[in-house]
A and B are shown apart, each in its own frame.
Chain A
Amino acid sequence: MSAFNSSAPPSKYVTLVSSEGFEFVVLRQATYCSPTIKKMLDPNHQWAEAKAGRCVFPEISGVVLEKVVEYMQYWYAYREKEDVPDMHIPVDICLELLQAADFLGMDQ
């Protein structure tokens, strides 16, 4: 199931898991907007996450992680574009999202 063979190229997709166990399969390139996740998945470091292509976040709830994943796709889609349209962020999870953004290092 997981690619333990380090010589094989890593999968294009990785799995992010929320605290409740919701799984989100995301484009690997898109997750690189978070330096934290990028480091977790770096094949040079032999982290378990890098080997399995699967990151578990016990601190982040499903609702928040869903938004984070949405942002990742948004970031990936517009990474080279000017004049990026706004992404909707619901007010009620804003603070949690802010914490998650800080945790994932997404402040650049």
Chain B
Amino acid sequence: MHGIRTEPSEQSTTLVNKVPNLGTAMLFAINMSGSNNRPQPNRRGRNIMGPQSALTDFLASHNISANQIRHEHEERLRAAREAAAAQNGETNTSNGTTPAAPADEDNGMLPDSHATEDMPISTTRRRAPRKGEITEQELKRKKNQANIDKIKASKKRKTGKKADSDSDFLDELLTRSAPLPGQMENCEICDKRFTVTPYSRAGPNGGLVCNPCGKELDKDNPLSKKKGRKPTGGASGKRRNIQSKILDGTYRIGAPSMMTMCVKVLVKNIELADDLGDIPPTAIDKIARNLSKNRMVDSRTLDLFLQPRAHDVYVYDGAKLSSHDIIRIFQRVPQLKNLKIRNAIQFKDEVMEYLLSRDIELESLYLSGSNLLSTRMWNRFVVEKGATLKSLRVYFTDKHFDDTTLALLGTHCPQLKRLKMRHVQAVTGAGIKELANVKSLEHLGIQITHNRALPDVHPDVFVHVLDGIGGGLKTLSLTMVPTADNSVLGAIHQNCRALQKLRITDSEVMTDEGFVRLFSGWDNPPLRFLDLSKCRHVDSTHPRENPDSVGVGSNGFRALMKHSGQKLVHLNVHACRHITKQAFEEVFSADKVYPELTSVEVSFCEEVDDFVVGSIFRSCPAVQTVNVFGCMKVRDVRVPRGKILVGVPNAQGMQMEGAED
């Protein structure tokens, strides 16, 4: 109770403490924005308001002050009267030109008889009319004068200046002449008439400038631009950002490298760059990647990267490039060897036609999304330019690049080492079978299951290919091959002797026994990269029953770690849910060390628990990330310092590094 009672009082005191600060801050801000040349005699009136007419309200909302207008009107009247009086030969010593009545600052009252007798000037002022006649108008004028004096004095007090300085008074006279918001004024620069607003900029000579000229001034002076603060989203937003970076794999501790920071700045201001000059190729590549990330590679920025003597052109996002732009690549870079264009939508027949007509001999070609390029031109390319081709990567072509193209590779591409196809919908098993003739192949990656109209590739096709070229393969990647069975594993075991990277995913028929047979007594050196994700039994009606032990199971996992564990860098057994806890514990037991394993993916392996994850950290000294999405038994793991554990379902999202050493 006591605590509850004291809390509000504390709050209120802090509030009270804060209010004056706020007040001064606001005053300061007003003074700053008011920029000397705008009078604010009625500022006080704005804060404390009595009853007002609707018109006054309306005018106030448009920054027109009734008070101010009246005040100026009265001043004009008075000036006119004084001019008339001077003509009448009347000597009036106190006609308002003397500085605001000295020492009258505290006298807030109207000048009545008591007050006037104290002041010599006022007495003379009073005496002068006594010689003539005291009219009512004269009295009114005096009243006004006193009001003005009062306002001037209070203003001086606010600005903290001494009232007796002549220059201050001059300043005040000058500022009076500046127009108010809502009034018209001639622009200082272009002399056009414009309406003054509270945001009108002061010109270089003290006057006001119109909006277009103001913008011009801002352009010239980039420092005056106020940079908007990035929305951080508060504490939770920051945390979310960090988690997002962890998942992206871009999380890092400490400052970003200077090159990264420079590249960022450069990309933001790429429109200022005419030429990148002598920048090292790595930096140019970084800039290109950053630009692509923001979809900023277009006709203009492309030119920055086309250097006549370059061998490589990597366009990470060509979505904005026209056919002509892509042709320009070949024109500007005659010694081109390696070309990569992602989202090369406009890489059409005419572009290929141009490429074929030139003397360019490509060693590697990477095209994604070029679905307007016809099979006929693909085939011509393979026939005419295949002799030098070492690497061909084709992604997301629609109905072109088909079996006939693959059939040409064997005869026309004697040097082809790398072939990757993904989402190449026109290719069928018959085409893949032809790859057995491409004897030079070292890296083969296939993912073609996206066309549901075509039958799945029969496993015999893969066996045929492996029998033909398996011996030289260093990389074999069969992504989404639901029908690939043990015979494929057998063919790998039989033929492959140089494999470093193996990926077989989504197989629904390979069995544990098949994996055991593959990895036991295999004459292939240990693998560096192994991805067997989603090789598991799939049956929606009996998900728990797996009588034939389909998929990577305990024995297969033991066998593969025994074969490749010592050199393995990446291990992915995502969703291989038949691996038992016991197998994990055995593989990652205290006496086993996997020195090179840096990333482990065991997501959706349901048997993985805290102990298994702890064992992984113990057995893999070099491990950086362990993914455990969907491992519901992982709850509270002690994560060693600097290691990252991704996918722990707790309130903080994805846990990262622990403090334990």
**Could you list which residues of chain A lie within 8 angstroms of chain B, going by C-beta atoms?**
33, 68, 71, 74-75, 78-84, 86-87, 89, 91, 94-95, 97-99, 101-102, 104, 106-108
Contact = CB atoms under 8 A, between A and B. Distances in A.
Interface string B264-283: 01100100110011111011
A94 B253 contact: no
Nearest to A88: B265
B262 A89 contact: yes
A104 B280 CA distance: 12
The residue among B257, B269, B276, B279 with the most chain A CB atoms within 10 A of its own CB is B257
5 contacts: A87-B255, A94-B262, A101-B259, A102-B283, A104-B258
Given A97-B258, A98-B259, A98-B262, A91 B283 contact: no
A85 B269 CA distance: 20
B258 A71 contact: yes
Interface string B231-268: 00000001000100000000001111111111101100
Given A89-B261, A97-B262, A102 B242 contact: no
Contacts of A94: 262, 265-266, 269
A99 B283 CA distance: 9
Contacts, number: 76
Contacts of B256: 84
A99 B242 CA distance: 30
A21 B238 CA distance: 43
| A contact face: mostly helix, strand, loop, or mixed | loop
A83 B255 CA distance: 9
- Contact-size category for B: 20 to 34
A55 B253 CA distance: 28
A79 B262 contact: no
A99 B287 CA distance: 13
Given A94-B265, A95-B273, 13 more contacts: A71-B255, A75-B255, A79-B253, A79-B255, A80-B253, A84-B254, A84-B256, A89-B265, A94-B262, A94-B266, A98-B283, A101-B283, A107-B259
A87 B256 CA distance: 10
A80 B259 contact: no
A102 B277 CA distance: 14
Contacts of A95: 262, 266, 273, 276-277, 279
A91 B283 CA distance: 16
B279 A68 contact: no
Given A81-B254, A83-B242, A108-B257, A102 B280 contact: yes
The residue among A79, A86, A98, A107 with the most chain B CB atoms within 10 A of its own CB is A98
Given A91-B265, A98-B266, A99-B278, A107 B257 contact: yes
Contacts of A68: 258
A68 B269 CA distance: 20
Given A87-B261, A91-B272, A98 B255 contact: no
The residue among B258, B265, B266 with the most chain A CB atoms within 10 A of its own CB is B258
Contacts of A81: 253-254
Contacts of B266: 94-95, 98
A64 to B, nearest CB: 11
Contacts of B258: 33, 68, 71, 75, 97, 101, 104, 106-107
Contacts of B261: 71, 86-87, 89
Given A91-B272, A102-B280, A82 B259 contact: no
Given A89-B265, A95-B277, A98-B266, A78 B255 contact: yes
A26 to B, nearest CB: 14
Contacts of B262: 89, 94-95, 97-98, 101
Nearest to B272: A91
Given A91-B272, A102-B279, A102-B283, A74 B255 contact: yes
Contacts of A83: 238, 242
Nearest to B263: A98
B240 to A, nearest CB: 12
Given A91-B269, A91-B272, A94-B266, A79 B254 contact: yes
Contacts of A106: 257-259
Contacts of A78: 254-255
Nearest to B251: A82
A101 B280 CA distance: 10
Contact of B282 (A80, A91, A97, A107): A107
Nearest to A89: B265
Nearest to B657: A82
Contacts of A80: 253-254
Contacts of A89: 261-262, 265
Interface in B260-311: 260-263, 265-266, 269, 272-273, 276-280, 282-283
Nearest to A83: B238
Contacts of A75: 254-255, 258
